[in-house]
Amino acid sequence: MSRYYTRVCNFYYGNQSKSLVRNKKSIPLHHLNEISFDQIEIISRKSKKKISISQIKNLSKSLKSKINFDLKKIRLRKKNFSNLDFQNIPNILGVLNLTPDSFSDGGKFNTKKKALKHAIYLINSGAKLVDVGGESTRPGSKAIKENLEWKRISKFLKKNNKKIPLSLDTRKSSIMEKGIKLGVKLINDVSGLSFDKKTIDVLKRYKIPFVIQHSLDVPEKMQKNPRYKNELLDIYDFFEKKIKLLRSKGIDHNNIILDPGIGFGKNLKHNMSLLQNISIFHSLGFPILVGNSRKRFIKELSENNDSKSRIGGSIASTIFLMMQGVQILRIHDVNEVIQSIKVFKKIINN
């Protein structure tokens, strides 16, 4: 029997969305009247078909039951956690790499003074959280020892003293535990909780919110001819299995964020498929995070117009992802991206 997936589509935004919701012509996403949809795409590994929400009643009993089950999760209001506001999206997660070798800003903020100054700047610019990392996981990078990673971030975490809301970008359970004790509000593990076997135990013990990111293999190997049967559905299934595993281990809270991992074991085709169909992940029932900022796909799409900062591509993809209801975006250029979001919202609502 075919397995079916529900992707909501044909979104409306702002005042137009509110009007359609009021007249019951579109369905609000996560109880947000300012973003709604009036179509769904029913996807299997052999087919896909778009229908209007008014046509759902004409489906077979089993398929209608499946679609309505997914829609219940898609409509449900998201509860806030970790300083994130799911009634006002997108939330911006500012990037602070305390590394000498990250792909776009390595070495730029790797002193305590520079790091704190930039973290304050990111928050003042509108970031809800600052994502701090001491190990580069860019394609081709190698894992570093735990003591070196902790050395890079510990002084900053202690100096911050819970003043600035932070998430911690790490794959190592011991780093997570130390960071939690110093007040970090969110764990962001790019390995999808797979790198360190003790990670799930730490997350369970402290009941802290966390991000599950999809990544194909480790950074040293992930970009060497990545392959999927169907990248969109394979990654959906990965999240579903991971959530089932976490429930079996006793993690029963819903303060979990899903990140499809743009650029982590994906070529341009895979990245484009994920970005264009990102709304499929709403039917899993958890907030979505996308790291679109300064990524390689911007260079590949813009070709001769690529720039070192890639702010233009970051902004363009941000607006698109916002229109697909993505709740969190991981961004380097926080001030410029939030400026673009504010201007877009003002224009579309006038």
- Which residues are known catalytic residues? 295, 330
Q: Which residues of 232-241 are buried (b: 16+ CB within 10 A; e: fewer)?
A: bbebbebbee
Strand 5-13 relative to strand 32-43: parallel, antiparallel, unpaired? Answer: antiparallel
346 burial class (0-12, 13-18, 19+ CB within 10 angstroms)? exposed
The amino acid occupying position 43 is: I
- Which residue in 280, 191, 202 sits closest to 234, CA to CA? 280
**Residue with structure tokens 């499929």?**
280
CB 309 within 8 A of CB 331: no
Q: Which residues of 37-72 are buried (b: 16+ CB within 10 A; e: fewer)?
A: bbbbbbbeeeeeeeeebeebeebeeeeeebbeebbe
